Structure 1
Amino acid sequence: MHLHGTTILAVRDAHGVAMAGDGQVTMGQSVALKHKARKVRKIYKDRVIVGFAGATADAMTLFERFEAKLEQFNGNLVRASVEMAKEWRLDKYLRRLEAMLLVADDTSILLLSGTGDVIEPDDGVAAIGSGGSFALAAARALVRNSSLEGEEIVRKAMAITAEICVFTNDQLTLETLRKDASNKEITTS
């Protein structure tokens, strides 16, 4: 039994970052087991958003390890991500985990994988999961051709993805980190 079906999308703009994940959990190619799974969460004092694609138990293990790295490096997202990716790649147990992470603070978005990848998108838009390519394309089109803020771009791109990808639904968990005019984080939602 293989469980899958996820789309996670993050968009960074001048106001901060927004990340959303759909709620569908699928078994095989034809059965939707759950419709409101929560695949996006805030961690580290609500200053970092993490989304996962892949096996749920594996993702929970990675969430815990990543939060420990954030604690170890005082919330430094890049340093914690690099150290997490190194550990993930080198640890015999972690290497077998089938998941990817999308992590963000109010200024950066990073994609982490078990092969040691720590990738920051050039354009402030990143997506993972079975519907990731659809969400990425829709979000990039909206970023380039509208004046919408990141949060609204995420909502609209995820809605488009849910119309196309059979492994993505419209039951979103959306988290944001916003900055004030002085570039300091002020609100979370």
Structure 2
Amino acid sequence: MTIIRSTTVLGVRHNGEIALGADGQATMDKHVAKNNVRKIRKLQDGKIVTGFAGSTADAFMLLDKFDEKLGGYGGNLKRAAIELAKEWRKDQYLRKLEAMMVVADKNELLIISGTGDVLEPDSDVAAIGSGAMFAQAAALALKKHAPHLTARQMVEEGLHIAADICIYTNHNLIVEQPV
């Protein structure tokens, strides 16, 4: 069975703004399968930005479910995230999905997992995927030592640092901000 690995997703809240970005690499076994995968999506007319890591098909199913939840809860990010996590954990089919999500609006940054967790990072830095710890460490250092940078610049630099270290992350970035 081919092991599919890919993705570093990084979100930063800094100085009243939020940015969410991801690299573009998808890897199958020991080979790069594609270098320009779009792992960041905008929902609700750009008010919500999402990033996913894990199986692409599973992630798209979760994005659709999350969009449904957002519609059902009037675009309330936290409520939709909690309801998605509850359904993901309880539903026999959804429980088998292998993906994680980072979601953000203008005010909140959250990580959603299939174990029923909705995490709001204490440090205002959310990272998932194979290069997550590299990107998170870089973003935390930038927040502490380069506070003049914007959230977008921190995401871009954090992802570039992860790409320099993690073989499953590339420099082909997409960064979005909620409107």
| TM-score (normalizing by structure 2) | 0.97
Q: Give the Å deviation of 1:15.
A: 3.5
Looking at structure 2, the residues matched to 57 and 90 of structure 1 have their Cα atoms a distance apart, in angstroms, of: 20
- What letter matches 2:156 in structure 1? R
Looking at structure 2, the residues matched to 31 and 168 of structure 1 have their Cα atoms a distance apart, in angstroms, of: 12
After superposition, where does 1:26-65 map in structure 2 within 5 Å?
A: 26-28=27-29, 30-65=30-65
Looking at structure 1, the residues matched to 44 and 106 of structure 2 have their Cα atoms a distance apart, in angstroms, of: 13
Deviation string 1:115-166 (CA, Å, 9 cap, x unpaired) is 0000001121110000000000000000000121110011111111100000
Q: Which runs of 5+ in 1 are unaligned?
A: 178-187
Q: Give the Å deviation of 1:176.
A: 1.0
After superposition, where does 1:2-41 map in structure 2 within 5 Å?
A: 2-28=3-29, 30-41=30-41
Q: Give the Å deviation of 1:45.
A: 1.8
- What letter matches 1:55 in structure 2? S
Q: Taking every aligned residue pair, what percent have the same amino acid on both sides?
A: 47
| TM-score (normalizing by structure 1) | 0.92
Which moved further from structure 2: 5-14 or 58-67?
A: 5-14
Q: Write out the 4+ residue segments of structure 1 that deviate beyond 3 Å after TM superposition.
A: none
CA contact (8 A) 2:138 2:158 kept: yes
Secondary structure of 2:81's counterpart equals helix
Secondary structure of 1:154's counterpart equals helix
C-alpha root-mean-square deviation of aligned residues, in Å? 0.8
Aligned residues: 177
- What letter matches 1:8 in structure 2? V
Q: Give the Å deviation of 1:109.
A: 0.5
